[in-house]
A and B are shown apart, each in its own frame.
Chain A
Amino acid sequence: MKRILASSVLGAALLGAAAIALEPGPFTAEQSRTGRALYAANCAACHGSELKGAGEAPPLAGSTFIAAWGNRSIDELYNLVKASMPYGNGNSLDADTYRKIVAYVLTANGAQPGNKSFTGNENIAIATIADGKAPVAVAEAAPARGGESGAPRPATSYPATRFGLTVAGALKSYDPVTDAMLAHPKDADWLMYRRNYQGWSHSPLSQVNSANVKGLQLQWSWAMNDGGAAQVTPIVHDGIMFLSNTANTVQALDAKTGELIWENRVGPAPTRAYGATRSLALYGDKVLVPTTDAKLYGLDAKTGKIVWQTVIEDAKEGYSNTGGAITIHGKVLVGLTYCNRYETKHCFISAYDVNTGKVAWRFKTIALKGEPGGDSWNNLPDEFRQGAETWIAGTYDPDLNTTYWGTAQSKPWTRASRASGAGATLYANSTLALDPDSGKLKWYYTHAPGENFDLDEVFERVLVDHGASKDVLTIGKVGVLWKLNRVTGQYEDSAQTVFQNVYDKIDPKTGIPTYRKDVQNSKIGEWISSCPGPAGGHDWPATSYDPKTDLMVIPLHQSCVLMRAEPMEKKIGVGGDAGSQRLFEMPGTDGNLGKLAAYDTKTMKALWSFQQKAPFLTGVLTTDGGVGFVGDFDRRVRAFETATGKTLWQTRLPTSAQGHIVSYAVDGKQYIAIESGLGGGSPVGKPTTLLPNIHHPGNGNAIFVFALPDN
């Protein structure tokens, strides 16, 4: 009965009917009043001072919130907030603080305080007390966003400090990075995101091998900034490690000793869940720094001083860069993320002169009306065509002079919320082949036309040759490993790596998938199953390709979701992902969320695989020593034999292993650098919900460098 009532109230609220009187909320005015300041301190950094949400932080007020939560109970909201917030540090505040924050959130949705104190046990449908319309007093007195000047900072924020060149120093010498170096990197270097232009995440070093890897010892470690997600890649050139931290702090360290040479706290302090770019880039005498506030900086590699800076897009509108960069022919290419609001603007890939920061070109990743592919959006007005973010930097084939980028799904997540019908929503969830000099599109291939479940196909594009066949491989959240001809974009082959129930079939000639009937026909408010769920299959922890064995080692995640499409008001400025989720274990996995598998990229057959409870949260590294490395949610880092998957060595870090493992050499000695890191989206959030018995500290971003003993 309560549900029926809630549905009625919700329906009325959505239709704008004001006749239904709301009952007083089960909280006091005092709880709501003090909750406002607590919200500002702990929540506003991600969800915004006006509770509108941003990026992956959903709106906590208004019609979108009520649509998602109106039928759910207040105690479920309280339990969710308590268990999972502040993001990455669930249950870190006292219960009274959580109660007051929830009271404020309810007030901001039009709930009126009553006489009873909120206890957290109230099984009352939210739509019976709130309609999503903020009282004027609340709307006008929205608390300042945490992290902004003078406002309280979120509990997980970067410590208050000064910014700028905080440690002055200079490299004794620096060999400028050239196109030739990038095309043929020295064995000792790790010059870019996944080491080479082909995106292999493979080191040709072999000093550490399957026979001696058990002798690895810690050489040095370095605590990194906490606050915000850290999924970084150490970049190493001639014995210098360039390290990106949260707050867009960049450090130059002696890669042999861990001694700090210079530090530039570019800033700003993290005001959102993402705190550090996944990868810096090098070119000439510059370190290129795409920042989380959607700017791009050119630093002097010798001193860390800012030479130039430019704005990629306006961060005040929510845009960000987390996906790193790639440098080609004197240009730095970057993507853009958080393009999930209805705007007249759209997401794009862009290129800048490495010496001046001057923009060279932009490629818009959304096809608008009248443009090629513009008829793939069910005739939606241009401003309601969003998403297709590029939150993983591309790769590059110098011979073909083509750069390959993946795009994310269209927004909102579901077909029903988008109102995009069966349209492919170009160029979302596609591989884009671009001319790096002009930004001109050479070809595209859409892996998941009209995606429906937050199943990105944005991840690394790995370039592999098999004789005369020039292939590009990629794997997305649905867990299908795709192989395309990278000259033409023609589909070649695919292989399924985890159980999936999203597609009824994949056309063997074209690779075009057919969605289940109930997915095709899904409507607002229906719970629809998806295996895998939004953590993948495969997510940002990158694959590694070993050219000696032709094996691609893939970190995989196994969980499922019921997703409910929520209504999304078609209005400029409104935004979000508009999908509610309920998570569950993937059938047939025995509760093992983690899976590591090795695929022969010629035959597309799996050679070996193993499972474990904890999902993997680092990219894989393989080496010419026949040894691979990977780290997980449960703080473990292991070395495994590439040919067999057998674990050869393991250790544990202070908190979850996260980021991209790299290998480099200084003075002839091979090092393995591994990050412990926190934060991020589904790959961290889903296991946090599904594996409550796996614990790791809520701080501890750091780098750990291992090597064999000198003797």
Chain B
Amino acid sequence: MRQALIGIVALLALSPASMAWAEDFETRLSPSPLTDGTRINIAGEGRVKASLDGKTLTISGDFHGLVTPATTAQIYDGLGIAIPGPKAFDLTVTQAMSGTVSGSVTLTAKQAAGLRAGHFYVQINSQKAPDGNLTGWLLPPHPFAGEDVPVAGAGFLPQLDVPQKSGGR
């Protein structure tokens, strides 16, 4: 009984901290910036989930539909959402036209803040798209209601840097 009580107390002591630090992020991987002239080599899609636990960011996801095998994958630290920036970390990626991407990296406090502001993105490169084949911006979870399914309000607008403006009179 006493041991059980100690266990519960210990659990209660630990849980808030771990729950407070566990933050989830997700993204769809879609073709990197392209033109009609380059889309022949820039195709495919995928999904990535990420979890920030303390300073540790863990990434896992999958992809398919590449035209040529994946070569490398990285996390980039953008200047804002959808604004490209420098490479931050390497990830592990299956060297094939479909497969998985994963990694675990340690973030600085500044990087963690950037992640929370939506600045981090995952990029998979491939043989014929060495400067970007699939890209996805890590954002808070945003379940999609489904095509044609109305939702209340404006839907998910990830204005993490620039709060949505309304009611300015």
Residues of A within 8 A of B (CB): 72, 75-81, 83-84, 90, 480, 491-501, 503-506, 508-509, 511, 516, 518, 527, 529, 531, 560-562, 581-592, 595, 597, 603-613, 638, 644-647, 688-690, 692
Distance between A179 CB and nearest chain B CB, rounded to angstroms:
34
Q: Which residue of A lies closest to B152 (CB)?
A: A608
CB-based contact B168/A518 at 8 Å: no
Q: Which residue of B lies closest to A502 (CB)?
A: B162
CB<8 Å pairs between A and B, sample of 16: A83-B36, A83-B37, A90-B36, A499-B159, A501-B81, A505-B162, A527-B84, A584-B30, A587-B118, A587-B158, A591-B28, A607-B153, A609-B153, A610-B150, A611-B147, A689-B39
Which listed residue (B82, B150, B156, B167) contacts A646, Cβ 8 A?
B150
CB-based contact B148/A610 at 8 Å: yes
Q: A590-B144, A592-B147, A612-B147 are in contact. Are A531 and B35 (CB under 8 A)?
A: no
* B residues less than 8 Å from A90 (CB atoms): 36
Which listed residue (B33, B118, B162, B166) contacts A583, Cβ 8 A?
B33
The distance in angstroms between the C-alpha atoms of A606 and B152, with both chains bound, is: 8
- 11 other A-B residue contacts (CB within 8 Å) besides A501-B80, A516-B80, A608-B153: A76-B37, A493-B167, A494-B168, A495-B166, A500-B159, A505-B162, A529-B83, A587-B139, A590-B28, A605-B153, A606-B153
* A residues less than 8 Å from B28 (CB atoms): 585, 590-591
* A residues less than 8 Å from B34 (CB atoms): 582-584, 689
Interface centre among B144, B145, B162 (most CB of A within 10 A): B162
Q: A499-B157, A508-B168, A587-B137 are in contact. Are A689 and B147 (CB under 8 A)?
A: no
Interface centre among B33, B34, B80, B167 (most CB of A within 10 A): B33
Residues of B within 8 A of A (CB): 27-28, 30-40, 45, 79-84, 118, 135-137, 139, 142, 144-145, 147-159, 161-162, 164-169
CB-based contact B39/A83 at 8 Å: yes
Which listed residue (A491, A518, A613) contacts B83, Cβ 8 A?
A518
* A residues less than 8 Å from B40 (CB atoms): 79, 83
Q: Which residue of A lies closest to B78 (CB)?
A: A529
* A residues less than 8 Å from B80 (CB atoms): 501, 516, 529
CB-based contact B82/A529 at 8 Å: yes
Per DSSP, chain A at the interface is mixed
CB-based contact A591/B30 at 8 Å: yes
The distance in angstroms between the C-alpha atoms of A582 and B39, with both chains bound, is: 10
* B residues less than 8 Å from A77 (CB atoms): 37
Q: A496-B159, A506-B165, A506-B168 are in contact. Are A584 and B149 (CB under 8 A)?
A: no
Q: Which residue of A lies closest to B45 (CB)?
A: A591
CB-based contact B144/A492 at 8 Å: no
The distance in angstroms between the C-alpha atoms of A688 and B39, with both chains bound, is: 11
Distance between A67 CB and nearest chain B CB, rounded to angstroms:
16
Which listed residue (A588, A604, A644) contacts B137, Cβ 8 A?
A588
* A residues less than 8 Å from B137 (CB atoms): 587-588
CB-based contact B150/A609 at 8 Å: yes
Distance between A650 CB and nearest chain B CB, rounded to angstroms:
9
The distance in angstroms between the C-alpha atoms of A638 and B159, with both chains bound, is: 30
Distance between B54 CB and nearest chain A CB, rounded to angstroms:
25
CB-based contact B149/A587 at 8 Å: no
CB-based contact B154/A597 at 8 Å: yes
* A residues less than 8 Å from B39 (CB atoms): 79, 83, 689, 692
CB-based contact B145/A610 at 8 Å: yes
Which listed residue (B35, B45, B164) contacts A80, Cβ 8 A?
B35
CB-based contact A587/B82 at 8 Å: yes
CB-based contact B168/A610 at 8 Å: no
The distance in angstroms between the C-alpha atoms of A47 and B142, with both chains bound, is: 43
